[in-house]
Chain A
Amino acid sequence: MTQNAPFFTPDRSQYPAKKADGTLDIDIASGKYLKLWQGPNHPGITGNMSVELTVCGDEVVEGKTHVGYLHRGFEKLMERRTFIQCFPIVCRICVPEPDFNEYCYAAAVEELAGIKSPERADWIRALILEMGRINSYMMYLGGQAGALGLGVIGQWTTYARDLMLDRFEELTGARIYHMFIMPGGVRDGLPEGFDKRMEETLREVESTLKDVYDVMFCNAVFKKRTVGVGYIDPALVDSYGITGPNARAAGVAKDVRKDQPYLIYSQLDFEPVLGQDSDIFTRADVRRRDVLVSVDLVRQILAKMPRTGPLMATVPNVLHWKIPRGETYIRGECSRGEYGYYLVTDGSGYPRRVNVRGPSYTHAVSLLERMIVNLNISDVASLMVSLHTYPPEIER
């Protein structure tokens, strides 16, 4: 615990004693504790996962995350698909922001196959990733407010997200799963008049954000519920593998777009959004400001991107595409943190192993289990949303 925040010190006097093997000495039969399952069929859970809470009064003494409800075995399925057959299924791993799967997979394949995607494709990729980021954050803001009973925010932000999905639709032809970033480039260029409609959408997003700021962030009750709750110590950031806004809200400037610029991010002008005292409120605020950064980035990309040039690099016949033995790791900064693909090839036409590193993997399991202790039951849902966890990227 830091010096400047003494009121975050938890009271552990009621806490059960630890047994020799490190587990807690909880005797359910004593009637002092209650097992409470939050999820998977529970509106306060982020997606299809569950938390097994042991509560004492209103206070959580132990929380265990249970995942695996969405396990489809992607990493196994990809081992028996050719490189191009993997491309349509990767985006199914993560629903709110599927484009990062496509980008990371495409970039990993390109790197191992020695292909360089054309510059114009890189710009369009970055555009899509930023649009997806705005979508994902809009979903988050609605969820965060909804977890505290402020449903109206969810209505507004989902409407703005729907507008952004319209732009996706005219660019890629699909609402959720775009399948646009292929190994080698992108499928298509921007349609006619896209910039103008994009600008209108961005204005709508900004005005929604202004309403959200007025109703949510200036709201006394919202502040009362979130300030000082769910604090992340900056010292935990590295040991728990915290990335993205969760880390940035703690004051650690972890942003892959700045640290290891990929695509064309080195040509764009932006600063990672930082916060202090990573409680639920700060994390929500960091994400709100991050949307503004993304809105600005989309404008910059549209202003700077080349309008002519190839969209696809020359790719060998995808039916007989063999990639020599190698391994690589490609990462990108998605709205929840560092998203990465670890790809191993063995010279055949199929990947040897694909491993997806989703940011929720660390956030929702080890970090959540630590943070949930000593929390009020009422705050569990709000905390889970504020970590922006998303279960499919944990279990794939």
Chain B
Amino acid sequence: MRELHTKLKSLFPVGDLTEQRSNLGFVTVPQEHLRAVLVHLRDREGFTHLVLLTAVDWLEAGQFQLTYLLSNRTAGKDLGVRVMLARDGATMQSIHDVWPTAATYQRELREMFGIDFPGSPRLHEEFILEGWNDIPPYRRDFDTLKYAQENYSERPGRVTHDPAAHMKQKLNSGGN
């Protein structure tokens, strides 16, 4: 992992390595270098398998984190490539021509986070949701409970306990 990171660092302006396990690390890459890094990793370093592509919403920092998780099967190593995007008008270059499966992930990200990937095939077709009329649901500022209560009628009689208070009462009530 460390050698790989050193090598990458000499070629691209990548950030520091977060070593989660001996065979799993995460690096941050500037947005404009992502494609070059991915192609380099795929063709030169044997990271041929795109495991997943997903986003994390850091609402407080006003950023989206895109994670491209690559895997090198022969070496048994995984590398997560992180890209930080500004949350407003988030746009990212598409990598569907590097890995064809990425098109599906990008469709999902556009629908669930509202991140745009210009040029990705069938990007604007509905993927999971149908007739969605609110902000993309996986964003942190979308409140699913509020939406559910506003849109769906509930059957009366459902009680929700706060787990901590409930346990405290249960433990103190009879000792059993």
If A76-B137, A326-B20, A353-B57 touch, whether A241 touches B49 (CB-CB below 8 Å) is yes
**B24 at the binding interface (Cβ < 8 Å):** yes
The listed residue with most A CB atoms (<10 A of its CB), out of B23, B26, B101, B129, is B101
**A6 at the binding interface (Cβ < 8 Å):** no
The listed residue with most B CB atoms (<10 A of its CB), out of A241, A254, A362, is A241
Contact flags A360-377 to B (C-beta < 8 A → 1, else 0) = 011001110010000000
Complex-state Cα separation, A85 to B162, whole angstroms = 12
- Chain B residue numbers with a CB within 8 Å of A366 are 100-101, 103-104
The listed residue with most B CB atoms (<10 A of its CB), out of A85, A243, A328, is A328
- Chain B residue numbers with a CB within 8 Å of A254 are 73
A362 with B129: CB separation less than 8 A: no
- Chain B residue numbers with a CB within 8 Å of A240 are 99-101
Count A interface residues, CB 8 Å.
Answer: 43
Q: How far is the CB of A108 from chain B (nearest CB, A)?
A: 10
Count B interface residues, CB 8 Å.
Answer: 42
B window 126-145: CB within 8 A of A: 126-130, 137-138, 140, 142, 144-145
**A67 at the binding interface (Cβ < 8 Å):** yes
B21 with A73: CB separation less than 8 A: no
The listed residue with most A CB atoms (<10 A of its CB), out of B54, B57, B78, is B54
B101 with A71: CB separation less than 8 A: no
Q: How far is the CB of A318 from chain B (nearest CB, A)?
A: 9
The main secondary structure of chain A at its interface with chain B is mixed
A327 with B80: CB separation less than 8 A: yes
Complex partner residue of A342 from B69, B73, B138, CB under 8 angstroms: B69
A71 with B52: CB separation less than 8 A: no
- Chain B residue numbers with a CB within 8 Å of A329 are 20, 24, 51-52, 69, 78, 80
Complex partner residue of A73 from B78, B100, B101, B137, CB under 8 angstroms: B137
The listed residue with most A CB atoms (<10 A of its CB), out of B100, B121, B137, B140, is B100
**A268 at the binding interface (Cβ < 8 Å):** no
B window 65-94: CB within 8 A of A: 67, 69, 73, 76, 78, 80
A259 with B52: CB separation less than 8 A: no
A67 with B128: CB separation less than 8 A: yes
If A329-B80, A344-B56 touch, whether A361 touches B24 (CB-CB below 8 Å) is no
**B48 at the binding interface (Cβ < 8 Å):** yes
- Chain B residue numbers with a CB within 8 Å of A319 are 163-164, 167
B interface residues (Cβ-Cβ under 8 A, vs A): 18, 20-21, 23-24, 26, 48-52, 54-57, 67, 69, 73, 76, 78, 80, 99-101, 103-105, 121, 126-130, 137-138, 140, 142, 144-145, 163-164, 167
* Interchain residue pairs A-B with the least CB separation, the first 10: A68-B128, A238-B48, A355-B54, A357-B52, A353-B56, A241-B101, A362-B101, A319-B164, A365-B104, A366-B101
Cross-chain pairs A/B with CB under 8 angstroms, 29 sampled: A68-B127, A68-B129, A71-B129, A76-B138, A76-B144, A79-B140, A238-B48, A238-B49, A239-B48, A240-B99, A241-B49, A241-B50, A241-B51, A241-B99, A259-B76, A319-B164, A319-B167, A326-B20, A328-B21, A328-B24, A329-B20, A329-B51, A338-B51, A352-B56, A353-B56, A362-B104, A366-B100, A367-B101, A395-B128
A interface residues (Cβ-Cβ under 8 A, vs B): 22, 67-68, 71, 73, 75-77, 79-80, 82, 85, 111, 238-241, 243, 254, 259-260, 319-320, 326-329, 331, 338, 340, 342, 344, 352-353, 355, 357, 361-362, 365-367, 370, 395
